Amino acid sequence: MVLLCAAIMASFQYALTPEKQLAVLQPDQFDPTLVDDSKVFVKKYHEIAPFKLVNQNGDTITDEFYDDKIYVADFFFTVCPGICPIMTENMTLLQEEFKNDPEVLLLSHSVTPEQDSVSVLRAYADKKGVIDDKWNLVTGDRKEIYDLARKSYLAAKKNKFGGEYAMIHTENFMLVDKEGRLRGRSYDGTKKEEIDALIEDIYILKESYRKED
């Protein structure tokens, strides 16, 4: 009888516990220091802007590559001595978790595109064990990458020093859904517990699509 009562109580608790869902995030929900002035007051319909960059294999990568995919984006540079090695290590944890899942991809943007050429990215990818069909390391036009960070991913603070498109490096990982929308929140890519939370949220997002089918 005790076991039966416990089972009933557990069932009630499960039924009454709201299912976790990920919000579709808008610019006005972010720290305004991370958001370009042109986007601060946007309250709906925010999506990642179209882009055209080049990956570690010299292949052109556009936003269409990520159509109907869930992906995690970040910003790095190959000779970064500080947080980048930790971020890259944590990206490899995501790669390992989802390496056999074609629904989930990774995208890392160089913030020093002039130095991070295709050959440099290729060497870095080989050193870090990047799986090419899972994870793109991209370089390209500095302004385009800067605008993606500030106007699309809402991931980096404006750099007041070093020129108009100089970017302060950011530790943020961003979760993007199949429609190109920001989901969940910003995740600190230097912290293992944040990566665990991101992995959990990716599974929640995957499940939400499964229920729509």
End-to-end Cα spacing for the chain: 40
Residue 5 assigned to a binding site: no
In this structure, are residues 183 and 23 in contact, taking their beta carbons and an 8 Å threshold?
Answer: yes
The span from the CA of 120 to the CA of 66, in Å, is: 23
In this structure, are residues 78 and 109 in contact, taking their beta carbons and an 8 Å threshold?
Answer: no
Residue 80 assigned to a binding site: yes
Q: Is 158 exposed, middle or buried (0-12, 13-18, 19+ CB in 10 A)?
A: middle
Question: What's the full length of the chain, in residues?
Answer: 213
Residue 169 assigned to a binding site: yes
* CA-based radius of gyration for the chain: 19
Q: Tokens for 39?
A: 């986007």
Which residues are part of a known binding site for Cu cation? Answer: 80, 84, 169
Residue numbering of the annotated binding site: 80, 84, 169
